[in-house]
Structure 1
Amino acid sequence: MGSRMIKCPKCGVFNTNRDYCKNCNTLISNDKKRELKVAALKQQHIDEAVYSLENPGLAKRLKQHSNLLYRIVGWILYSVVSVVSIIGAGLAWMIAMVAAG
C-alpha cells in the first residue's frame, strides 16, 4: 500500500498514514469520519426505537390501564382513531383514482 499524506486542517502539519493529527490530535481521516457518522446514525435510530417503545401513545396507555373504565375509554379512542384513519385512506385512494383518470 502507498502512503497517504494528509494535511491537518487545524494546524497545517502533514501526517503520513494516520487517522489523527500527530500535532493537535484532530481527526483527519475521511474513512474514520465516515465510520463515526454511521455509528452516530445507528445510535440515533436505536434511541428513537427505545423512546417509541418506552413512551406509548395515549390510547395504548389507556388500553393497558388497571381501571376498567379507563380501558374502555382507551379502546373507544383507539377504535375512533382507526375508523377515521380508514376513512381518510379510502378518500385518498378515491381522489387518486379520480385524478388518474
Structure 2
Amino acid sequence: MATKRMIRCPKCGIFNTDKEYCTNCNTLISHQKKVEIRAENVKQQQVDKAIYEKEHPNLAERLKKHPFWLYRIAGWFLYSTIMIISTIGAGLAWFIAMVAAG
C-alpha cells in the first residue's frame, strides 16, 4: 500500500498530496525534483566549462599550432618547460609525503 505524502508549500502554505508543484501557486515543492534540477545544472556547468576550455586554449597550446615555425618551436619549448616543472613539483610533493609518513 503506497503512502501519501502531504507536503506544505513554503510559499503559500497550502498542503499538497504527492505533487511536484504546488496546486495553488505552482512553486516547486518536491525534494527529489529539486535534486534532479541541481544535478542537471551541475552537468550543464561542466559542459560549459569544457566548451570554454576547448574554445580558449592556453598560450602554449595556441603557439604549438601557430603557422609560423618559430612560434611553433617556442610553443613546444614552453609546453615542455611547463611539463618538466610540473613533474619535478609532483616528485617533490611525493617525496615530502613519504618523508612525513615516516
Which stretches in structure 1 are left out of the alignment for 5+ residues? Answer: none
Distance 2:45 2:15 in 1: 34
Q: What is the aligned-residue identity percentage?
A: 60
Deviations along 1:35-92, one digit per CA (max 9) or x if unpaired, are 1111111111111121222221110110001111111110111111111112222222
Runs of 4+ off more than 6 Å: none
Distance 1:58 1:72 in 2: 13
RMSD: 1.4
TM-score, normalization by structure 1: 0.89
Residue 64 of structure 2 corresponds to residue 44 of structure 1: no
Which stretches in structure 2 are left out of the alignment for 5+ residues? Answer: none
Per-residue deviation, 1:26: 0.5
Distance 2:40 2:101 in 1: 43
Residue 78 of structure 2 corresponds to residue 74 of structure 1: no
Aligned to 1:5: 6
Aligned to 2:58: 57
Distance 1:97 1:19 in 2: 52
Count of residue correspondences: 101
TM-score, normalization by structure 2: 0.88
